[in-house]
Chains A and B, each alone.
Chain A
Amino acid sequence: MDVVLAIAVGGLYAAGLYMMMRRSIVKLIIGLGLLSHASNLLIFTMGRLIRGRPPLIAPGAEALAEPYADPLPQALILTAIVIGFGVQAFAVVLIKRVYEIVGTDDLDQMKRTDEL
């Protein structure tokens, strides 16, 4: 399964980067979203996949029993998801404001407004 996910992550990266290289700013946002999914999934897969054994200590036990899913990547990803939301919101709002002011969604046009 990890090989399948490796291919999926590669696909997500390719799609995300492709979208980010578009001239339209809205596509940039979609690309950013795809890229953050790809990165989270990458870290998750790198921590190795364990089916159905969440890192929860069973009642009565003192410690986690093998095998268990690695809790550390999970903690990293959890905050990354929430921060990703914050960043995406910021990007969306920034782009919205830029669009309102500049009146174009073409990044090449925006570069020109810079020079005015």
Chain B
Amino acid sequence: MEGKEAMISLILSTATRYLLPLLLLFSIFVLLRGHNEPGGGFVGGLVASAALALYSIAYGVAAARRMLRIDPRALIGVGLLIAIGSGLLSMARGLPFLTGLWVERELPLLGKVGTPMLFDVGVFLVVIGVVLTIIFALSEE
């Protein structure tokens, strides 16, 4: 890995440093607007994981893991739990599993909030977890 580290260009590492927060923000934006505009959990998750994958190429997997703080494998579990949990909420109300429930009032920034949105957050986290688990495991070989 030593030789490769040296080969990473200054441009990539500098660009990544500034691009990463932007891309992460963008991914959340894509996730949240997905219900009304093109986007959603799948695309958002892919954008975020692409950003972190780029970071891991520039600075190494260890740095990317520190940056992420959570093990991507845990993200898979958390995401699945959120997705299932969003479906269970409606069952608590006596409705079939995964029926959409919505908060009456529109919230600032987020607009209408409901369980399908929560479900999409679950998808988002699963996608990030899956892609990064694979990429990190491969890079660490």
- Interface set of A (CB-CB < 8 Å, partner B): 54, 56, 78-79, 82, 85-86, 89, 93
Contacts and interface: CB of A to CB of B under 8 A. Distances in A.
A79 B42 contact: yes
Contact of A78 (B37, B42, B138): B42
B42 A82 contact: yes
Contact of A56 (B38, B42, B130): B38
Given A86-B130, A86-B134, 4 more contacts: A78-B42, A79-B42, A89-B134, A93-B138
B127 interface: yes
Q: Is the interface of A mostly helix, strand, loop or mixed?
A: helix
A78 B42 CA distance: 8
16 contacts: A54-B38, A56-B36, A56-B37, A56-B38, A78-B42, A79-B42, A82-B42, A82-B46, A82-B127, A85-B131, A86-B130, A86-B134, A89-B134, A93-B134, A93-B137, A93-B138
Interface of B: 36-38, 42, 46, 127, 130-131, 134, 137-138
A64 B91 CA distance: 30
Contacts of A54: 38
A85 B133 CA distance: 13
Contacts of A56: 36-38
A86 B127 CA distance: 10
A54 B137 CA distance: 37
Pick the 6 closest A-B CB pairs, nearest first: A89-B134, A82-B42, A78-B42, A86-B130, A82-B127, A56-B37
A82 B46 CA distance: 9
Nearest to A100: B141
A86 B132 CA distance: 11
Nearest to B37: A56
A49 to B, nearest CB: 18
Contacts of B131: 85
Contacts of A79: 42
Contacts of B138: 93
